[in-house]
Chain A
Amino acid sequence: MKTLVWVEHDGSAVKDATLAAVTAASKLGEVHLLVAGEGVDGVAQAAAQISGVGKVHVADSAAFGHALPENIAPMIAELMASHDAFVAPATTTGKNIAPRVAALLDVMQVSDILSVEGPKTFTRPIYAGNAIATVESSDAKLVLTVRGTAFEKAATSGGSGAVEAVSAGGDTGISSFVGAEIAKSERPELTSAKVIVSGGRALGSSEKYEEVIVPLADKLGAALGASRAAVDAGYVPNDYQVGQTGKIVAPEVYFAIGISGAIQHLAGMKDSKTIVAINKDEDAPIFQVADLGLVADLFNAVPELTGKI
């Protein structure tokens, strides 16, 4: 089987989510990559180094600059004439583009796969991860999105893929990019961080989040996260949100501070290797999944922890 993997990038570097998708695709067969964008030579060169990669298709055009699905999906559908599976990481970009490709191919997409069980058989979460379905596609071609935390990351070196240009399609003119507000920070990204410190509603304010959560994250070189309750209450921006409706993470260590552990939050972090919970309510559901639990007032315990660790 010949797969075509969507390379998620920021214009200069390949993003980690791509590497998990490459691993998933390699379980199906030959791995080809698609780098689409404007001025993406550097990304294509880096992508060609990914371990196990065959060909790297490069679609370089102003029309592909902001990954507008209206322009990109028809180009992918055309490339799929010579591939058997389109595999995209389940990022907001992948989730935006892949179903559009699937419909153009008259294929029912399999979303957010957790494992590859056979050439057309996969597992995937349903009901916010409260159930796991094993599904089998009957379509001639596959369109898949891949949950990044469920697969190992492919090595970023050792490969020697041949780079090949794709004749670029035009701009459909029905959509245009206006602008973006992407938070820039020195911190590791939530979805690739080794340690994450997350705060919940119990913090009570954005000032307390800054005062209690941020210093611990600084000390551990951790990414910052939050529960949906804390985001909805306005303590932190919405891209901090960990959960079924936010980011799905699986760091080495996840600190859940003042987070009760709603199902929707657990769905986003329960694959973390070690979960540490600090909460003053000893009956909080978060303690049912925590490896290390401390029943304490976070306003005392967290500064003390920051001082001693």
Chain B
Amino acid sequence: MKILVPVKRVLDYNVKPRVKADGTGVDLANVKMSMNPFDEIAVEEAIRLKEKGAASEIVAVSIGPAKAQETLRTALAMGADRAILVQTDDAVEPLAVAKILKAIADAEAPGLVILGKQAIDDDNNQTGQMLAALTGWAQGTFASKVDVEGDSVSVTREVDGGLETVKLKTPAVVTTDLRLNEPRYASLPNIMKAKSKPLETKSPTDYGVDTAPRVKVLKVAEPPVRQAGIKVADVDELVAKLKAMGVHS
């Protein structure tokens, strides 16, 4: 079984986003960019399935600028076998990403597509579900456990209030949640090896997908700032203040 793993290049999760002064977006000039953390978990899960013998090949895909090659090389260094970069300098919305991935899935015929539940830049949480809709496949979103069993996959999902397990016929789409696994670091020899793994470059038009945005960003602003309040000296003062607010047993 082949596994397709879409990955996105985003602002590194340790970097505090700064809103541009002109309100057009978040400043991405000269800041550290990395693989979306949920996608890293997806790559790791695919590798673990391959190590268990449940998968034969892992294909990483990224839709983004030329520099997204670095993100794909990271996936290759972790253990993906080959990569496809669908190169574009435009911001591509989840619906268009899902359409491109659908075309790639048609060509590659994977048994599973594993991807992050959301990207930590636009926080949309849509691409996996949209891909599942377009392919007509089953979806296991927000996964904390994935078990491949013959021609089906059992996915434990993190839902409000606890966990839910569903059984999906493959091919299927799985989106990862944080507790699915802890991604490995690529070793230096593997980073070197990744440089010679195949990386194919395509464009959205190769797949006949129009990436013109449907949702226009009118403005990006800082969130309202919450003012710090007061420090109380001790528990008695805290109790008095809370009781004055009507908080008591």
Contact = CB atoms under 8 A, between A and B. Distances in A.
B121 interface: yes
A177 B121 contact: no
A282 B154 CA distance: 46
A284 to B, nearest CB: 12
A99 B125 contact: yes
A12 interface: no
Given A69-B129, A102-B130, A176 B167 contact: yes
B238 interface: yes
Given A132-B220, A274-B245, A180 B162 contact: yes
B133 interface: yes
B106 interface: no
A138 B216 contact: yes
A8 to B, nearest CB: 9
Nearest to A69: B139
Nearest to A178: B165
Given A135-B218, A296-B234, A130 B16 contact: yes
Contacts of A176: 166-167
Contacts, number: 248
Interface residues of A, number: 90
Given A103-B98, A180-B164, A111 B216 contact: no
B223 A131 contact: yes
A99 B132 CA distance: 10
A304 B94 CA distance: 51
A97 B141 CA distance: 10
B229 interface: yes
A66 to B, nearest CB: 8
Contact of A128 (B123, B126, B232, B249): B123
Given A95-B125, A182-B161, A102 B215 contact: no
B164 A100 contact: no
Given A100-B133, A238-B158, A179 B164 contact: yes
Given A136-B216, A174-B138, A309 B243 contact: yes
Interface stretch (A40-48, A160-168, A204-212, A287-295): A287-295
Contacts of B235: 294, 296, 301, 304-305, 308
Nearest to B235: A304
A101 B132 CA distance: 10
A134 interface: yes
A138 B215 contact: yes
B241 A175 contact: no
Interface stretch (A23-31, A53-61, A119-127): A119-127
Nearest to A228: B178
B159 interface: yes
Contacts of A304: 235
A289 B131 CA distance: 39
A197 to B, nearest CB: 11
A233 interface: no
A73 interface: yes
A127 B142 contact: no
A161 to B, nearest CB: 25
Contacts of A130: 16-17, 19, 26, 223
A182 B19 CA distance: 39
Interface string B72-115: 00000000000000000000011100100000000000000000
B162 A175 contact: no
Interface string B200-237: 00000000000001111111111100101111101110
6 nearest A-B residue pairs (beta carbon): A291-B229, A99-B129, A103-B133, A108-B214, A103-B130, A99-B126
Interface of B: 11, 16-17, 19, 26, 93-95, 98, 120-134, 136-139, 141-142, 144, 154, 157-169, 172, 177-179, 213-223, 226, 228-232, 234-236, 238-239, 241-243, 245, 247-249
Given A100-B129, A175-B167, A296-B235, 5 more contacts: A103-B134, A138-B216, A239-B161, A287-B231, A309-B243
